[in-house]
Chain A
Amino acid sequence: MSASSQATNGQNKIAKPQGFDLLIYRVKKYFGRLDPYLTILGIGLWLFTYWVLCEGLQVWRFTKLPGPVAVSKDWFSTTPFQGISIFTAEYYDHIAVSCRRILIAFGIATALGVPLGLFMGWSRSIRDYIFPLIEVLRPIPILAWVPLSILLLPGFEWPVLFLATLASFFVTTLNAMLGVDSIDEEYFRAAGCLGSSRWDVFMNVVVPGALPFIFTGLQISIGVAWFSLVAAEMVSGDLGLGYLIVDAYMNNVTVPMVIAMITLGFIGYFSSALVRMLGNKLMAWHVKELNQQGR
């Protein structure tokens, strides 16, 4: 026993890089691999193709589209030809409105969907009540809800929020429920013989056990929220990136349309990265387990 505990002591004394050193180590490791160069090459190829089609060779209908040069000229200009650039307040108004809507919609969907899904996974009778209903409503495309939401809710803001919330809610609920289903029966049994009440089991087995699925669900759900938000803004909206796209198209200015599309892509990417980061923070145990498996 003493020999083995000495050996483990020794192992623990090897200093692991911390803080800034760890960051440097990770950056070095990242650029030591092939991945970043392939990513850069991939983006370069895509941009080049885009340029060739629109501006280089001006292939057929692509002449209607602004090419990468035209778009970036306007995007980064203090006096944009077609009205939208990083120096105009209007651009940020649209972004802010869309982001605020996502924050509200995603927040409501998460606050309702996660507990509901967990309870559905935890209790047979709650599931029997609700699951069939959700399964019928879920396949209805979000655009099909547009007329109903405009009829039912006042103004521009409420229908848009409702549509974004709805889509996101279904994904979150379903994933939280599947997360509970995925928990090994033995954890429930272990909790039972350790003397847990039903509430203890919920808090200590159901919630943490379902977290990996919940966060997978949240990453999908924030994407779905953006998707349905933009669709909703296109149909019923007064501001926001979706509205900007449609508005630009209607007024025959194509550069803001493309700028809004690319902006949506970046914001969507960052928002799901944010959700992923939050998930990793809450699930240190899960991250460490995956690391041990070399993933």
Chain B
Amino acid sequence: MSKNMKISERLGALSIKNVTKVYDPEGVNVKAVDNCSMEIEGGEVCMIVGPSGCGKTTLLNSIAGFHSITEGSIHLDNELLCGPEKPIAAQGADRMVVFQHGALFPWKTLQENVAYGPTVQKTLGAKEAMSKAGDMLAEAGLGNFLTRYPGEVSSGMARRAEIVRALINDPKVLLLDEPYRAMDALTKQIMHESLLETYDRTGVTIFFITHDLEEAIFLGDKVHIVTTRPCQLKKTVEVKIPRPRSYETQSSEDFRKLLAEVNEAVHEEAVKAFQAGERELA
């Protein structure tokens, strides 16, 4: 995938149509997502912003195939992932998830973690997978930490290794669920730069859930603001700041304007969510 291609020509287009998800804990129906539709073009960085517990993660889990949807359909490059006849998508390496709390296997070294995907999918032999994993980690600046366990490295490094573990499978879509939530501002900045660099290199579609509005605008091509539970698309803000972006971008006039626009839309929902006081769903 070359960066010269226009976004619309790239693979990894997600089409979310009228998706509804109803949870049924203890006999009481809870609507987490209600008739939510979104079109995400291939190679687009799509940021999902909304109040805590609004059902953003539910949407991501439906795409990844971690649970079923009640109504609607989700297509990836015009192929059905899940829909009325097939409520739960098959899990697969075309959609790689980077988890909120990090899910590198703590019992495998960074290199073993990265090599795991190609090894079990048998796209590479065990040895080739290890050497490719080593190369890719080195490329991400983790060359000195190949034999370390995730518990021995900083959260920033672990998160970076997790993204490498996802990318080694050549996914069409990278699904990130607030991956930098617990990080300090300085580490976040480094993580953002490295994610943008990865994006510029691979052109993978990115579906990124966040609470951080500045992060959303800095990274995204589009920012989708969703309502408080049940989750619906409220507003889409296009970010027309040219790439490559650097941290100076954040002090530009355009950036500030976009931030104000997004903030206004989100704030309303945040107030509603706070007053409802509902607990986050898994």
B26 to chain A, nearest CB (A): 20
Interface residues of B in 38-76 (CB under 8 A from A): 64-66
The answer, among B65, B99, B106, B165, for a CB contact under 8 Å with A285, is: B106
Cβ proximity bits A199-210 to B, threshold 8 Å, 1 near / 0 not: 010001100110
Q: Given contacts A186-B103, A189-B99, A211-B107, are A12 and B144 in contact (CB under 8 A)?
A: yes
Q: Given contacts A1-B141, A8-B144, are A190 and B105 in contact (CB under 8 A)?
A: yes
Contact of A184 with B by CB under 8 A: yes
A194: which B residues are within 8 A, CB to CB? Answer: 93, 96, 116-117, 120-121, 165, 169
Q: Are A189 and B117 interface neighbours, CB within 8 A?
A: no
Q: Are B107 and A200 interface neighbours, CB within 8 A?
A: no
* Bound: A1/B116 CA distance, A: 27
A215 to chain B, nearest CB (A): 13
Q: Are A5 and B143 interface neighbours, CB within 8 A?
A: yes
B242: which A residues are within 8 A, CB to CB? Answer: none
Q: Are B97 and A190 interface neighbours, CB within 8 A?
A: yes
User: Which residue on A lies nearest to B106, using beta carbons?
Assistant: A285
A193: which B residues are within 8 A, CB to CB? Answer: 64-65, 91-93, 95-97
Contact of B181 with A by CB under 8 A: no
Contact of A155 with B by CB under 8 A: no
5 closest Cβ contacts across the A-B interface? A289-B151, A208-B107, A190-B103, A195-B121, A192-B91
* Bound: A184/B99 CA distance, A: 12
A286: which B residues are within 8 A, CB to CB? Answer: 106-107
* Bound: A189/B96 CA distance, A: 10
- For chain B, give the interface size range: 20 to 34
Q: Given contacts A193-B65, A193-B92, A194-B120, are A186 and B106 in contact (CB under 8 A)?
A: no
Main secondary structure of the interface of A (DSSP, over half): helix
Q: Given contacts A193-B65, A195-B121, A208-B105, are A5 and B99 in contact (CB under 8 A)?
A: no
The answer, among B64, B103, B145, B152, for a CB contact under 8 Å with A292, is: B152
Q: Given contacts A195-B117, A196-B120, A289-B151, are A205 and B105 in contact (CB under 8 A)?
A: yes
Listed A/B pairs (12) with beta-carbon separation below 8 Å? A8-B145, A9-B144, A184-B103, A189-B91, A192-B65, A192-B66, A192-B91, A194-B117, A285-B106, A286-B106, A289-B149, A292-B152
B145 to chain A, nearest CB (A): 8
* Bound: A209/B107 CA distance, A: 7
* Bound: A253/B64 CA distance, A: 72
Contact of B101 with A by CB under 8 A: yes
* Bound: A84/B169 CA distance, A: 68
Q: Are A288 and B107 interface neighbours, CB within 8 A?
A: no
The answer, among A184, A189, A192, A204, for a CB contact under 8 Å with B116, is: A204
A208 to chain B, nearest CB (A): 4
User: Which residue on B lies nearest to A196, using beta carbons?
Assistant: B120
Contact of A18 with B by CB under 8 A: no
* Bound: A186/B64 CA distance, A: 12
Q: Are A195 and B106 interface neighbours, CB within 8 A?
A: no
Contact of A87 with B by CB under 8 A: no
Q: Are B101 and A186 interface neighbours, CB within 8 A?
A: yes
* Bound: A200/B91 CA distance, A: 14
Contact of A187 with B by CB under 8 A: yes
The answer, among A184, A189, A292, for a CB contact under 8 Å with B66, is: A189
Contact of A284 with B by CB under 8 A: yes
Q: Are B99 and A190 interface neighbours, CB within 8 A?
A: yes
Contact of A197 with B by CB under 8 A: yes
* Bound: A283/B151 CA distance, A: 12
Q: Given contacts A193-B64, A200-B120, A288-B152, are A5 and B144 in contact (CB under 8 A)?
A: yes
Contact of A39 with B by CB under 8 A: no
Q: Given contacts A283-B107, A289-B106, are A195 and B169 in contact (CB under 8 A)?
A: yes
The answer, among A5, A208, A284, for a CB contact under 8 Å with B141, is: A5
* Bound: A8/B146 CA distance, A: 13
A204: which B residues are within 8 A, CB to CB? Answer: 105, 108, 116, 120
B121: which A residues are within 8 A, CB to CB? Answer: 194-195
B225 to chain A, nearest CB (A): 26
Between A4, A12, A283, A285, the greatest number of chain B beta carbons within 10 A of the residue's beta carbon is seen for: A285
Q: Are B151 and A189 interface neighbours, CB within 8 A?
A: no
Between A1, A9, A205, the greatest number of chain B beta carbons within 10 A of the residue's beta carbon is seen for: A1
* Bound: A218/B169 CA distance, A: 38
Interface residues of A in 192-248 (CB under 8 A from B): 192-197, 200, 204-205, 208-209, 211
Q: Given contacts A194-B117, A284-B149, A285-B151, are A189 and B144 in contact (CB under 8 A)?
A: no
Q: Are B92 and A195 interface neighbours, CB within 8 A?
A: yes
* Bound: A94/B139 CA distance, A: 62
Interface residues of B in 87-124 (CB under 8 A from A): 91-93, 95-97, 99, 101, 103-108, 116-117, 120-121
B221 to chain A, nearest CB (A): 24
* Bound: A191/B169 CA distance, A: 13
* Bound: A196/B92 CA distance, A: 9
* Bound: A288/B101 CA distance, A: 20
Q: Are B141 and A187 interface neighbours, CB within 8 A?
A: no
